[in-house]
Amino acid sequence: MSQDRQLHLNLFLDGFGHHVASWRHPDSPLHESVFSRYVEAVKIAEQGKFNAVFFADSLAVDPNVVRSGKARGHEIEPLTLLSALAARTTHIGLIGTATTSYNEPYHIARKFASLDLISNGRAGWNLVTTDLAAEAKNFNIEEHIPHQDRYARAEEFYDVVLGLWKSWDRDAVLKDRDAGQFFDPNKLHRLNHKGKYFSVAGPLNVTPSEQGYPVVVQAGSSERGKTLAARSADIIFTAQSDFASAQAFYQDVKARLPQYHRQPYQLSVLPGLYVVVAKTEAEAQAKQAVLDELIEEEVGLGLLGRMLGNFDLKGVDVNAGLPELATTETGQQSRQALLTQLSQRQGLTVKQLYQRVAAGRGHFSLVGTPEMIADQIEYWFKHGAADGFNIMPARLPDGLKDFVELVVPILQQRQLFRTEYAGTTLRQHYGIELK
């Protein structure tokens, strides 16, 4: 497998776009069906030769959405959506989120292996622990699982899923008409896992795909999250607001790989990148300003409170700095630390902070010309801060079209990004070997 570095680009799908007020924009296609909107976006990304599309998920309605009715909630379940998108596309990878906190390993292994078959080897599982405390009450649990316990469960969950995927040897399926043998029973293995959280016999009742089994993605940036990614993931998604933080994170995660007998190229680090692109700086800033004016204060505070770790910020002075908060045990500790540091470093008021969160959720954000955005992507890629990016357009589909038409050609001209797909599976797009 070649170890030559190539820039990776994913599209992070999210409703009408990543700005929380994107659905209120006068040009947003409010009356188009959910599926039609996503089909259009994914086809644009495939035309742009993106590695994959990525779809996040949660298993509850955010209480802040319920309270106000002003913010858009989640619209659709990822695996159902991605399976349908597989039939409308040919090359682009399909990465969906499924939490280890409120699922069972056999279900997840079976569903993602099925998506992998449907898509001819383009599936990826984004392994996450749950940060939305409200999910617990949908699964016969009153209190959300504490942070450390969530990761201990996730580690064992991953081991079971991988074991189930590997319960079929790649050459187990024979389909030998003359001998009357569909598969070789000696190449199908029981798992017989018995651990602290799970007891799973196996084997899986879904056969391998063209790429063997799905790619594993991890999206946690806490200490436990980084360790889990170094041990298990092929790709790690992360939120980093500036180059120095991203570079430190990149070096940290890569340095953890040798203890798991892995090389740096075997884990791709993809920070999120919120983008608003236009032919002039003034035009790009004007696009962003239109969206920022559409943010309701109640929505901004609700979203910020959720991202900080499920805190109620109602009544906080939005024109003052962020008040000191206890370390969250129900939310993402890494995201809480990122946003607190961002607020302190840049002296942001609560309102300015929720405007940042409403756009990029604390991710690196670029609002400007195609050349400026391409320059930053190249700099991060060449200076040890990223192997690629999870692109987060402010609006869909228009913001994505702008990126594909204006930024991607510059990256291709600089020979940083492919002009054609070299393979058909997600592993081929990333150069990922089977474990």
The domain that holds 377 is classified in CATH as 3.20.20.30
Contact between 353 and 304 (Cβ < 8 Å): yes
Average pLDDT, the chain: 91
Is residue 61 situated within a structural domain?
Answer: yes
pLDDT tens-place string over residues 195-241: 999 999 999 999 999 999 999 999 878 898 899 999 999 999 999 98
d(CA 262, CA 256): 9
Is residue 347 situated within a structural domain?
Answer: no
- Residue 423 contacts by C-beta under 8 Å, 6 or more apart in sequence? 429
Contact between 22 and 394 (Cβ < 8 Å): yes
Question: Can you give the pLDDT at residue 228?
Answer: 93
Question: Can you give the pLDDT at residue 141?
Answer: 84
Is residue 380 situated within a structural domain?
Answer: yes
Mean pLDDT of all residues in 272-288:
97
Question: Can you give the pLDDT at residue 158?
Answer: 97
pLDDT at 3 over 60: no
Mean pLDDT of all residues in 424-434:
96
Contact between 248 and 282 (Cβ < 8 Å): no
Is residue 213 situated within a structural domain?
Answer: yes
Which range is least confidently modeled, 191-195, 326-330, 334-338? 326-330
Question: Can you give the pLDDT at residue 257?
Answer: 97
Q: Is 151 exposed, middle or buried (CB count within 10 Å of its CB: 0-12, 13-18, 19+)?
A: buried
Is residue 51 situated within a structural domain?
Answer: yes
End-to-end CA distance of the chain: 13
Could you give the 3-state DSSP secondary structure of residue 418?
Answer: coil
pLDDT tens-place string over residues 230-266: 999 999 999 998 999 999 999 999 999 999 999 999 9
Question: Can you give the pLDDT at residue 321?
Answer: 85
* Residues of the domain holding 197: 8-282+362-430
Question: Can you give the pLDDT at residue 13?
Answer: 94
Tell me, yes or no, if the pTM score tops 0.85: yes
Is residue 300 situated within a structural domain?
Answer: no
pLDDT band per the 50, 70, 90 thresholds, residue 334: confident
Mean pLDDT of all residues in 94-115:
96
Question: Can you give the pLDDT at residue 142?
Answer: 81
Question: Can you give the pLDDT at residue 273?
Answer: 97
Question: Can you give the pLDDT at residue 166?
Answer: 97
Question: Can you give the pLDDT at residue 322?
Answer: 85
CB count, 10 Å around CB of 414?
13
Indicate the pairing of strand 52-55 with strand 93-99.
parallel
Mean pLDDT of all residues in 371-393:
98
pLDDT at 277 over 90: yes
CB count, 10 Å around CB of 314?
11
Does 322 or 192 have the greater pLDDT score? 192
Which range is least confidently modeled, 72-86, 131-145, 378-392? 131-145
Question: Can you give the pLDDT at residue 93?
Answer: 98
Radius of gyration, alpha carbons of the chain: 21
d(CA 180, CA 385): 54
Is residue 225 situated within a structural domain?
Answer: yes
Question: Can you give the pLDDT at residue 67?
Answer: 55
d(CA 257, CA 260): 5
What CA–CA distances, in Å, run from 2 to 187, 425, 431, 433?
A: 29, 16, 7, 10
Is residue 67 situated within a structural domain?
Answer: yes
pLDDT at 39 over 70: yes
Count structural domains, the chain. 1
CB count, 10 Å around CB of 320?
10
pLDDT at 126 over 70: yes
Indicate the pairing of strand 93-99 with strand 123-128.
parallel
pLDDT at 335 over 80: no
Does 165 or 66 have the greater pLDDT score? 165
d(CA 373, CA 277): 8
Question: Can you give the pLDDT at residue 123?
Answer: 98
Question: Can you give the pLDDT at residue 49?
Answer: 98
